[in-house]
Amino acid sequence: MNHFKTYMLLAGLTALFMGAGYLIGGPTGMLIALLFALALNAFSYWNADKIVLRTYGAQEVDESHPEPLIRNYVVDVVEMAQKAGLPRPRVTVIDNVQPNAFATGRDPAHAAVAATTGLLQLLTRDEIRGVMAHELAHVKNRDTLVMTVTATIAGAISALANFAFFFGGSRDEEGNGGGIGGMIGAIAIAILAPIAAMLVQMAISRAREYEADRIGAQIGGDPAALARALEKIEAYARGGYVNHDAERNPATAHMFIINPLAGKGADNLFSTHPSTQNRVEALMRLGVGQGTRRPAVPVMASVAPPSNPGPWG
């Protein structure tokens, strides 16, 4: 997505935030929402990545880590970043059983990648490389800023909608006190604002994920490994491996390589990601050109928890 579209996206989110402010507090509420949105945009530009990493308890790791799985993970990320012509990103681990990953940061020089312990335990090394190559593609394409800032602002919109339930009826008939109109407006924004924010997330996520898959396949050099990883992550996410932090912070769902929220992963109206099947098919078309064969064994079957929980317990 070019810079113009990025700015339009942020402007749209700001306008949505202002609309919510108007429905809650009239012109004064809209002005307050505008000032708050401008401050939030500025704060998010510099700090949204730190907020997201802190939300998920991400811990930075390096090649000196005593656990071999983590050492290999760091080594592979650093090697692929060099291959992609990127500065070394911060490499982090999230203690969560659901296999998943995301990238964040305002630009490649301030980027961080995050993988869950579930991802490192449950996928093979080449599949982990494929996933992290996808995340480095987001960094290379400069997707991480808008994805992270969108998560922060969308979360604020949802919070404002919840606030509307309690204070939406504070205006009078002239717009300065209580009344049915204010309550109706509050209910409307409480319902519509999260949906509108979700639609914006959908618009930015689907095209970005396909492009990151394509570039990630080039960086990792193995489209089939990324395809297998996507199928496995989808199966685990839908097979009872709940990401409780993501459930508490749904505005961040679009940042992950696979939607971490419970429910169907289909390419439908309220999905933040493209269909995993469509993504796998696109990757395998890339693989045909490179002589890569489709995985022989389907991995979208039911999944049982690993018998050995690994070093994280």
Q: Is the dihedral of CA 236, 237, 240, 242 positive or negative?
A: positive
Q: Which two tokens stand for residue 227?
A: 């395809």
234 is catalytic: no
- Residue 55, CB-side half-sphere exposure with 13 Å CA sphere: 24
Exposed (0-12), middle (13-18) or buried (19+): which is 46, by Cβ within 10 Å?
Answer: exposed
Q: How many CB atoms lie within 10 A of CB 37?
A: 24
Q: Which among 135, 209, 231, 234 is annotated as catalytic?
A: 135
Within the chain, residue ranges assigned H as helices are 3-55, 68-83, 117-122, 125-140, 144-167, 180-220, 223-238, 244-248, 276-289
CB 312 within 8 A of CB 95: yes
Q: Give me the count of residues in the chain.
A: 313
Q: Which residues pair with 92 in a beta bridge?
A: 60, 114
Spatial distance between the Cα atoms of 195 and 186, rounded to a whole number of angstroms: 14
> What is the Cα–Cα distance from 194 to 202, expressed in whole angstroms?
12
CA distance linking residue 208 with residue 199, whole number of Å: 15
Rounded CA gap, 308 and 252, in Å?
30
Which residues have a catalytic role annotated? 135
